[in-house]
A and B are shown apart, each in its own frame.
Chain A
């Protein structure tokens, strides 16, 4: 009987998270266009329903009904699988992210996370780098030189920044002593946020920069680089396959922000305690602020050049994140 309850509970949670996430992704496209519009002295979408609220739905319908073109010389199986890999990886990340405390539900203790994995953070990095395969394979399989260059850039960027990304959270791991994301959040309860309480502010910034590179956004949108590569890896994609890449990018963006919230900003812990069944509000609010920052900086920065990104990753971020490990070690020894 316990197994049935567990299955029902998990299925409901998966459905809920998936639904909310997809809704977020859809409306994130609208939010991005609206916020960028605000920055760029224009309106953004405002034709479909009040404030353009129907725009994501309209876009979705349009993407579904567009002709799906597969280039004659493309590697068809890979070409089809690539966007699936991207979107699957991006969504799977949410399996281990805790978005609230433990609540009482029909006499059952339900914790607001899909899987309380002991190797949660390891899982996150594994799945996140899997997502890059979608980009690499998509660009490579489309038989297009621009796509190929986008794929090569994606591969190079992935290796360089994945390293710095993993190293930037080492400090948090050392302090927490666990890879379980739920426990990491619980340790930060009561304003003991890693970013401020344990002097992990700079790693937090490094994490955000690497996160930008990880999800290929300006100023690190090398695989896409609209100006020189004319959309890079997704140049040959159309219809829903293109939309899947797009959704994967936004889902990944939300995931990166959610992980940052979990690791550095205390997860569902807030300035004052809400009842457990409302604790997700803090989590959503913090993630939302980070997402806003990611959109905001897109309206501000030009794009870096490929070699500069590589240099920045290897010569600047990597040594600093390494130094942070030593710094954190020193801090732990000194404070006991």
Chain B
């Protein structure tokens, strides 16, 4: 979808207002919009709101092979995405000029300033290093994306904890959060971008321009600085000529703003740390009230439960007694059999007795069974019966009984004790059982 065009009257009004030192939202020239930082449930997840501009930051890590020329350094990766949700003008899946510019600036601000100690991310030199990935998503666009994104990136990095690793000889052990507490990244300093918008060829200057001010500005100066007043990166765009004094003044303002924002970030991180330790609700998870119902609500229907027990007893008393279970298999045709009347499941009994059989079969076999466990169907003969051989089969089938009427009585093997005892000499079913041990 196309961007809403800016009308002539808006442009004129904005410029005239700036000349009169007025801003649309009532801010002064050097005022920032309100910054709000909230954290997610996981480490390394945060949402930074700068007025109505909103950026989600998420840090993740991975063990990878290092770059050839930097064998002892971890890898930092930044990715800012402008989703269509932020503004309808952003197209998905296309690298717009703005996006490339913002990503590049972010990389320069955070990677090239060496704010993260990449050497501490090395696990085994030349073989394994941590790759730290910072994903930033713009959730709503109301101007000054770069400032919000840079704050979100550094906050997410400060908040992030990577799993602990230990190296002993050639062995690298990665510990889960339960085994050892995850370790924070070592961060030397916190670079933060401050944007200055210039109007009327540099005559007027505004800090933290919002979306409409960005549209009418002539040029933009972005200064990334840490609280020690060290400039990490500086970029001027829009093609305006700035005087030396102007740049110096901007850097002074940036120093003040960065000090304020750094303090805010530290306070937010401390707060989150405290709440986490106390085990209370933290992050933006707390904003989701689980009491609220957005769907239809049904009133609890009251049910009369006063005479339930009597009724139940009555029903039981009136009901016919359950039919007797025939445990002996009834043989209809070769290969089919019926046990009972389909009223009660007698398979469980069968299995139990089988277990007993196994135990009887000797401790050696039992050990083998336990150790194999998988994939091997084992046929174990009944110890009490005739000297039938022990057959191991690979069948995957759970359980199979083949019944054949009137066969060689020598091959008879019985399953359940009850059946065994009832063995009739003239009609003896032959059963072969294949059982998958894994099922137990």
State yes or no: do A and B come from one complex.
Answer: no
Contacts from B to A (Cβ < 8 Å): none
